[in-house]
Chain A
């Protein structure tokens, strides 16, 4: 025993230098990766503040003075950016709200109640969790044609109610944080089942709801494939579609200052939200995956 402790001590003593060296290597790599992640946004920001002619004449690391001019040009340009922003916000907020409320309700149903077919339904939802929406897009488009929902927001909002990934996350969260005794106690106090869910369960699972709401919001905000197939008229388009239009235009004739500020405009809301809530977001990512 004494011998073992002696060895451990020796190993540790010998490693102090190695640890310093490894720490130095780790910091260097992390700083390089940080630069690799942020460099593009720095160039984006700098170019958004420069005039088209300045951008065309070559790169400069120093921000220009054309930010306001670029912004006014974009506002008076052909792209309906306020419409795009409003449409993106409306779709993303509604999707996030419906998704967390109803997918958490589904997880709650499987968590609390014991009914025939419970296991079958839970297994089914998880089995289809990974099926991408793209493979059903063809039938989906035909369906919304039949339902007369083309060029409306409904086909982008309503399907959010059934989100298997949110179900999975909420189910895991409920397992660890909602003892059935709480539900029983609420029943004894005469609370109805819907009221129990709304006023007792929802506050308890608020942290998980917040994480899932953010993720649903962001993925809806960034979604390009389905909205591009569903939305046709200019006033219905979302920001990713406007960005794609920017790319499809004869972009060399474009004012590049406007292109950069448009990109910044589309990603800035998410960056601001992320920087405010990064602690919860980064903490919430791993919780929804497999348990090691």
Chain B
């Protein structure tokens, strides 16, 4: 017995060896940068023209000046508004499609084809996608051309110069890119629901609408929370689409400027103090959100 145990623990040292690459790389390229970012947030450190100011320790002054201006709240608002404009249609369409795809009695033909098509935009390079939309919706672009041709418009609509249309286009790209992914996740959740529950509901005379609202939705709640929080975390990282779409300006009048675009500006201008404070702010928000995902995802080691 004793020999067997020591033999097993001799094998177990390989557990540590196999962990080395991951842990070492994680510590160097994620943990050190994280600590360094937080450290930077307590220093005044930027370039003003040719003169380098700092690094001087300033305590929480970076955070004070970050929150003193309205900018951060405007950009936070922009990010959340554009996320919600994409996410609400996304979750509604995905719930509907998920319910149809997983409905045994509906027996949709070519479901595989439709799933393949709606997932496709998720794999498209976001920067190429937004460049494409920028070209298509340009003042003299094909969309304006079509609308003029069909007589819907009298003169070209300047999509990029109106807050609402610019935001809707960005939200629409995000919607297109993500609704297929959400559909497949929700569908997997719906397939996991015990079919006897639906049979029981049918025996009780429930129609498909009642089955959806009384059986499917309540049982889907954990997955819905997961989808929503992960989408929210993704939404906070919104960058590629508005950055390319507006060439980094966040126009019109910085109403499409997101938090990460703001961070990107600080990184380019080497304003490390403010950039650090903004990163810490983002880290805290995403940290809280990921904690919720972690608690709801129910991950367990199999021997617990």
Q: Which A residues form the contact surface with B (CB < 8 A)?
A: 4, 7-8, 11-12, 15, 18-19, 22-23, 26-27, 29-30, 33-34, 36-38, 40, 43-44, 47, 55-56, 58-59, 102-103, 105-106, 108-110, 112-115, 118-119, 121-122, 125-143, 155, 158-159, 161-162, 167-168, 175, 187, 193, 197, 218, 221-222, 224-225, 229, 239-240, 243-244, 246-248, 251, 256, 259-260, 263, 266-267, 270-271, 274-275, 278-279, 281-282, 285-287, 289-292
Q: Which of B30, B107, B125, B148 has the most CB of A within 10 A?
A: B125
Residue of A nearest to B220 (CB): A292
Q: Which B residues form the contact surface with A (CB < 8 A)?
A: 8-9, 11-19, 21-23, 25-26, 28-30, 32-37, 39-40, 93, 96-97, 100, 105-108, 112, 114-121, 123-129, 131-136, 140, 142-143, 145-146, 148-149, 176, 180-181, 184-185, 187-189, 192-193, 202-203, 205, 207-208, 219-220, 222-223, 226, 230, 233, 236-237, 239-240, 243-244, 247-248, 260, 263-264, 266-268, 272, 275-276, 279-280, 282-283, 286-287, 289-291, 293-294, 296-299, 301-304
- B40: chain A residues at CB < 8 Å are 138-139, 142
Q: How far is B298's CA from A263's CA once the two chains are assembled, in angstroms?
A: 41
B142 adjacent to A59 (CB under 8 Å): yes
- B283: chain A residues at CB < 8 Å are 131, 135-136
A33 adjacent to B233 (CB under 8 Å): no
A-B CB contact pairs (8 Å), 8 listed: A135-B279, A142-B36, A222-B123, A224-B127, A225-B260, A244-B243, A274-B123, A292-B219
- Interface majority SS (helix, strand, loop, mixed), chain A: helix
Residue of B nearest to A197 (CB): B18
Residue of B nearest to A113 (CB): B15
A115 adjacent to B12 (CB under 8 Å): yes
Residue of A nearest to B115 (CB): A282
A248 adjacent to B260 (CB under 8 Å): no
Q: Can you name 19 extra interface pairs (CB under 8 A) apart from A34-B117, A38-B117, A248-B248?
A: A26-B108, A33-B118, A102-B25, A105-B18, A106-B18, A109-B15, A119-B304, A126-B294, A137-B33, A162-B26, A175-B302, A222-B127, A224-B243, A224-B244, A256-B135, A263-B128, A271-B123, A278-B116, A290-B226
B97 adjacent to A30 (CB under 8 Å): yes
B126 adjacent to A222 (CB under 8 Å): yes
- Interface majority SS (helix, strand, loop, mixed), chain B: helix
Q: How far is B294's CA from A127's CA once the two chains are assembled, in angstroms?
A: 6
Q: How far is B42's CA from A130's CA once the two chains are assembled, in angstroms?
A: 25
Answer whether A158 and B140 are a contact pair too, CB < 8 Å, given A19-B106, A34-B118. Answer: no
How far is the CB of B125 from the nearest CB of chain A, in Å? 4
Answer whether A134 and B282 are a contact pair too, CB < 8 Å, given A113-B12, A162-B30. Answer: yes
A218 adjacent to B123 (CB under 8 Å): yes
